[in-house]
Amino acid sequence: EIDSLCLHNATFRLVNYLLQQVPHDVHPHSQVHLDFPKGAIASRLAIQRETLSRILSKLREQGLIEVHGQNIILLNVKALRTIVNA
């Protein structure tokens, strides 16, 4: 986990975190329920809460996710996996 915090950018860390919350054999769409406040998740990922919000907005604008409060729908798991495998 320390290597991930040091070597990867904030978008990678957030997308990787979201993908870790879903099984590998999911349908193209999957839902993630955030068990912790976004501020706590941002802290765990070593990013500012504002940065986390900007990344979520960017991913939403790209059509990769939908955000509904504490629930995030991954609309394109394959494309999100591409971000972490690049």
pLDDT tens per residue across span 10-53: 999 999 999 998 877 666 678 898 989 999 999 999 999 999 99
Spell out the domains of the chain, with CATH numbers in brackets. Answer: 2-85 (1.10.10.10)
Residues β-bridged to residue 67: 72
* pLDDT of 30: 86
Long-range contacts (CB closer than 8 Å, 24 or more residues apart) made by 46-51: 46/5, 46/13, 47/10, 47/13, 47/14, 51/10
3 pLDDT band, cuts 50/70/90, is: very low
Pairwise CA distance, residues 71 & 38, whole Å: 11
pTM score above 0.95: no
